[in-house]
Structures are given as C-alpha cells and as structure tokens.
Amino acid sequence: MTTPAGIDAAIRATSSDEIPFALIEQGFEAFPKPAGKKFEYGTTGIRTKGDTLESTCYRLAIIGALRSKSLNGKLIGLMVTASHNPEPDNGIKPIDSRGEMLDVTWEPYCTAACNAVDAQEFFGILKKLIHAYKIDLKTPAKVIYGHDTRPSSPMLIKAVASGLAAMGAQTIDAGLKTTPQLHYLVHAHNTAGTEEAYGEPTEEGYYKKLADAFLKLVEGKPATSKLTVDCANGVGAHALLNIQKYIPSSALEIRALRTAIGTKGALNDGCGADYVKIGQKLPKDIEKDGVQQGDRMCSFDGDADRIVFYYLRGNPAQKDSFRLLDGDKIAALATDYISELAKKAGIELNVGCVQTAYANGSSTKYLEQRVPVTCTPTGVKHLHRAAEHYDVGVYFEANGHGTVLFSPDALKLLSEAKPTTPAAEDALIQLRNLVDVINQTVGDAISDMLLVEVILRSRQWDCEEWDALYEELPNKMLKVIVKDRAAFTTEDAERRLVTPTGLQAKIDEVVAKYKDARSFVRPSGTEDCVRVYAETGLAAELDSLANNVAKLVQEASDA
C-alpha cells in the first residue's frame, strides 16, 4: 500500500487501520475531475450537468463511508438525482442515519473533496475530516444507494459503487427509488428491531406502511372524485403504480399521467411540480388528456419529493381559471386539521409551522393567526431542523417540498392518552394513523398526496373549498443567469442581500414604489442562476416589479 505524504500521526492515532490509499488512488484515475470545473455543495448536495459528475460521485461515496464510520457504522444513504432539474443534470444527495439530510458541518468537506485537484489534496481533506470527527477507521461502514430515472444515473452509480468498494464498505444497491423512499429505507434499517422501529426496511414495506395508514384513515369516508397525477415522467410514476397495488381504486381512484419513464428527454419536460409552480399553469398539453373544470390534479417532481395540487375554476378557457394549491396551501390545510384533531382528542400539542421567504404573504398571515411560524433559509435541511422545535412541526416550502414532524414527546402523548369520549377517541386514532401516513424523514410527494386526500375526504371538501382558506397575493418567480452566482450573498433567512454591495438598497427603492409589495433575490443552490421573487397587492403591477428587480440583478452582474 502506498501512503501519500501528508498523512500523519493524527490519522493513525484514531485507529490501527488505515485508509486504503492505493485503492482510492486507482479510482482517482478512473474517475478524473473535469479540468477547471468547480463543484459546490448546494441546497441539497451537489448538482450540475450529469456528464461531469463521476469524480464527485466517487469522492462523495468515500466521504459517505467515513460518515457511516463516524456514526458507529449506522447506515447512511446516497441518492443520485437532480430532482426538478432538466434531464441532462444530475446530482448526489447524501442522507444521514435518521433519514434526514447530511449534517451541514460536513458540507464544506464535501465541497473541498470534490474540488481537490489531485489525490494528495483529497487525502489531506480526508485526514482533516477523520481528525475533526475522531473517526475510528476500524468501524465498518454501511451505505445504501439509489437513483432516479436519468440516463446518466447508471454511469454515476458505478462511480459511487467504486468509491464504496475502495473503502471496503458494506453496501445495499437500492436501485431505482424516489428520494423519499431512500430516506425511509435508511431510517427503517437503522431503527429495525428497536423500540423506535420505523417500518419494514424494504420498498414494499414503505408502500405497505403508507397504504395501511391511509386505508384506516379513510375508512367509512366516501371517496369523492378521482385524482389526476402528473408524474413528471420520472420515478414517481413507478412508485405511484406500486402503491396502487396496496390501495384499491375503490379507496382512491388515481389517473396517472406523464408516466413515460423510458422516453428520452421527457423527464420534467413541460410537466412536474416545478413547471407548474413557476409557470402557474397546467402541465403542457394536459388539456388533450381531457382535463375538466373542478378536477383535482397534482404534480410530482423528478424524484417525487415535492407535490403541488391545482384545479380549474370557472371557465377553463380563461387564463385565470388555473388555481394553484401549493406547499403553502398544503401547510395551511395540514396545520388546521392537526390542531383541530388535537383539540378534539383533548391533548395539548404545540403545533408550529416552518416556511421560507418564498411563502406567500397571505399564507404567513393566515398561519400566524393560528400557530407560531418560523422562517428559515431555503432547503429542507433548514426547515426540518426548525420543525423539530415543535411538538408537531408542519414544514412546507411554497414549491411543495415538506412534511409534518411529530416529536418523541408528541408520540408519547399520542400513545399514552386516554380519551374520555368516543369523539376524542376517534380524533386520537386519526392522529396516530396520520403519523404513519406522513413520511417523518423528508418531504415525500406520495405521502403528502395521501395526507391531502385524507384531509379533503375527512372534511368532504373539493379543491375550491380548500382554496378558500385564503387568497394568495399575486406572486412571480424569475431566474436570472448571472456571471457568478456566488457573488450574491444573503442574510435574514435570505430575505436581504449582503452582496453585491448596494444592490439591496436599490431593490428596496424599487419595491417601495409598489402597493403592498415584497421582493427578494437569492442565488439558487440547485441551478446556475439567481432567483428573483416578487409579490404585490395589485396583480397588474406584478410583472413590472419582478422585471425591474431582475433588471437590477442583471446590471449588478454585468457591472
């Protein structure tokens, strides 16, 4: 075994074992880093063009193995996906041992490791990581990996498997999975056989857990109309088809559209949650599928970790007949429902809500009148952590990414409560089953879809009645392609820019000219662009505000 210079006693002191440098070095040659390419750990892992990511996947697999060792050999996950991005993009999302996102303190090591120009520099980073987290190299590593439907996935999975093999990690190749399924599998594996057992650690176990809970929740409640699902031509189609084996159409009639997993170029193309949310319009050409006024519809994104609902109100020929029921509306629906159930069950639960700056002003106002509300930067990792401060933390990004967390105390209360009336008992049973239908590890399109169906069914509401909870302020999102998005830095949960210097003051000046307006700018952590969000009291002024702020961003970038 060759031992590169720079490996000092710090590593050896942590263990009698060594890092297999020679093996790792071979992979370095097999998966070279594209010259000049810079990688950055973003909102959720590393994401860019799929054909440039082999070196990154190889290196993050090695870091993944170290992460598992640092957690006493617990299973961690690596998901190869670029989620809502176009098909040529890909990425890798590391998953921590409780099924949550990777500990943020590891992110700078991931960025540095992926940018290392040679094996020596890479080994130096591993050395620092091992030292900082006192990793015992003798501890075995266990890693599960999966992928979505992108054409570049098999090539990247090969790089992941090579990195893990070089580290001698025990591996589980989960194959084609939705991102939330991989999060579920990690948590279910690590809790199997314990008091906290989360579920059977198989894909089938995932479907069974969600379906069983759903069927109990809707028992005796008549089905309303069918649900039309746009699967974004992604892995969500596979999961939806499978869960239907456990949920008979008499309990939930589903019409699955955009299910062309094998069609090149189809993923997220003119469909999917991001297309619908950003464009505030139906998936392209869906009218041809016979969509009608009042139909309840929803869209998944490419890896099925987000969902938005929508319907047509009034004359479908009118542009404004499209009505979006996004993550904010799901949060309002879920918060009200859970709060009411807790009251009926006679248990005290501190229900809170977590949003980001993208939350519509009307939704924040609506929620603040009912529960405490926290605002965090974009990214599930931030919302998830903030939601853990509540007994029941409802977190949703406006883009449809979110879930509901029940704290260990809340779970204890639910299991020990002794209801005194039949109505209280019904509410308690409903709450207990809700815990099981909701994916507690991360936002999950399938699980959130079932949650919404349960609530609408229970209230006997159609989309229009749900929509009536509040009227959202006209809003718009634009992408600006800039020279260097790293030049845009923010503070105050991304609501204000720090740099480029002076730009925030100019944005403030523009916003002040519009009635009840709000606008903010932040660099995307998943796409090479800066996002502009604008919201106004008057619909007629919206385009003008968004365009003027976007112009300021472009000018600052060009300066």
228 phi and psi, to 5 degrees?
-95, 125
Residue 336 or 494 with smaller CB distance to ligand G16: 494
Q: Which pair of structure tokens corresponds to residue 211?
A: 């379906």
* Window contacting ligand G16 (CB under 6 A); options: 146-154, 321-329, 416-424, 525-533: 525-533
Task: Tell whether 524 is in a known binding site.
Answer: yes
Residue 306 as a binder of ligand G16 (CB under 6 A): the answer is yes
Task: Tell whether 304 is in a known binding site.
Answer: no
Task: Tell whether 385 is in a known binding site.
Answer: no
Residue 531 as a binder of ligand G16 (CB under 6 A): the answer is yes
Residue 397 as a binder of ligand G16 (CB under 6 A): the answer is yes
* Shortest Cβ 9–ligand G16 spacing (Å): 40
Count of alpha carbons within 13 angstroms of residue 308, beta-carbon side:
30
Task: Tell whether 525 is in a known binding site.
Answer: yes
> Which residue of 14, 43, 115, 475 would you call a contact of ligand G16, by CB under 6 A?
43
* Shortest Cβ 250–ligand G16 spacing (Å): 32
Kindly give the pairing relationship between strand 296-300 and strand 227-230: parallel
Q: Which pair of structure tokens corresponds to residue 296?
A: 């309840």
Mention every residue, 6+ apart, whose C-beta is less than 8 A from residue 21: 1, 2, 3, 4, 7, 119, 123
Kindly identify the residues of this chain, within the stretch 266-305, that bind ligand G16 according to CB under 6 A: 301, 305
* Shortest Cβ 531–ligand G16 spacing (Å): 6
Q: Which of 55, 70, 83, 447 does the annotation list as catalytic?
A: 83
Residues linked to residue 522 through DSSP beta bridges, in sequence order: 531
> Which residue of 59, 74, 84, 277 would you call a contact of ligand G16, by CB under 6 A?
84
d(CA 436, CA 416): 17
* Window contacting ligand G16 (CB under 6 A); options: 56-64, 165-173, 336-344, 397-405: 397-405
Task: Tell whether 397 is in a known binding site.
Answer: yes
Buried b / exposed e over 505-544, threshold 16 CB at 10 Å, is ebbeebbeebeebbbbbbbbbbbeebbbbbbbeeeebbee
Residue 43 or 171 with smaller CB distance to ligand G16: 43
Residue 209 or 381 with smaller CB distance to ligand G16: 381
Residue 525 as a binder of ligand G16 (CB under 6 A): the answer is yes
State the Cα angle at 188 between 159 and 102, rounded to 5°: 50
Residue 380 as a binder of ligand G16 (CB under 6 A): the answer is yes
Q: How many angstroms from the chain centroid is the CA of residue 295?
A: 26
Active-site residue, 83 included: yes
d(CA 339, CA 494): 29
> Is the bond into 500 cis (omega within 30 degrees of 0)?
yes
Residue 379 as a binder of ligand G16 (CB under 6 A): the answer is yes
Residue 162 or 475 with smaller CB distance to ligand G16: 475
Buried b / exposed e over 402-418, threshold 16 CB at 10 Å, is bbbbbbeebeebbeebe
* Shortest Cβ 390–ligand G16 spacing (Å): 19
**Three-state DSSP state, 42:** strand
* Shortest Cβ 470–ligand G16 spacing (Å): 22
* Shortest Cβ 85–ligand G16 spacing (Å): 7
How many other CB atoms sit within 10 Å of the CB of residue 477?
18
421 phi and psi, to 5 degrees?
-130, 160
Task: Tell whether 301 is in a known binding site.
Answer: yes
Residue 526 as a binder of ligand G16 (CB under 6 A): the answer is yes
Task: Tell whether 59 is in a known binding site.
Answer: no
Binding positions for substrate are 397-399, 522-526, 531
Binding positions are 83, 301, 303, 305, 397-399, 522-526, 531
Active site residues: 83
Question: Under the rule (CB under 6 A), what is the footprint of ligand G16?
Answer: 43-44, 83-84, 301, 305-306, 378-380, 397, 399, 401, 524-527, 531
